[in-house]
């Protein structure tokens, strides 16, 4: 895993690992931060992309070229398959909510 690799690097201060993300990176950075206690800095979101399930914002409000590129990236070319995949892409349930 990435964090294990970082902790093995002599030039890395393991007590100061943080995460930043742009677009999908903000989504995956949120999940990484929630699941890695070593990470002590919150995700810095640039072009926030953490809507649970994200299909509406991603595909209905975003650029059509982004939607097309996503189809290619995940190797799914029909709308229904992509929507089913995207529904699973959520930060919900990845960590207990400290403020229920």
pLDDT tens across 78-97, in order? 888 888 887 777 666 666 65
What is this structure's pTM? Answer: 0.55
pLDDT range class, residue 9, cuts 50, 70, 90 = very high
pLDDT range class, residue 99, cuts 50, 70, 90 = very low
pLDDT at position 65: 82
DSSP-derived 3-state class of residue 18:
coil
Spatial neighbors of 84 by CB under 8 A, at least 6 apart, are none
Spatial neighbors of 14 by CB under 8 A, at least 6 apart, are 6, 7, 38
Spatial neighbors of 51 by CB under 8 A, at least 6 apart, are 57, 58
DSSP string, 28-96: HHHHHHHH-TT--SPEEEES----TT-HIIIIIIS-HHHHHHHHHHHT--SHHHHHHHHHT--STTSS-
- The tens digit of pLDDT for each residue in 31-82 reads 788 778 888 776 665 555 555 556 666 677 777 887 888 888 889 888 888 8
pLDDT at position 89: 75
| CB 57, CB 51: distance < 8 Å | yes
Q: What are phi and psi of 48, to 5 degrees?
A: -50, 135
């Amino acid at each position: 895993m990435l964090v294990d690799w970082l902790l093995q690097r002599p030039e890395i201060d393991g007590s100061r690992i943080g995460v930043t993300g742009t677009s999908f990176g903000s989504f995956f950075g949120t999940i990484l931060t929630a699941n890695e206690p070593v990470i002590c800095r919150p995700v810095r979101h640039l072009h926030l992309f953490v809507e649970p399930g994200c299909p509406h914002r991603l595909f209905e409000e975003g650029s059509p070229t982004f939607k097309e590129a996503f189809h290619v990236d995940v190797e799914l070319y029909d709308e229904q398959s992509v929507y089913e995949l995207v529904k699973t892409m959520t930060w919900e349930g990845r960590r207990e909510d400290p403020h229920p």
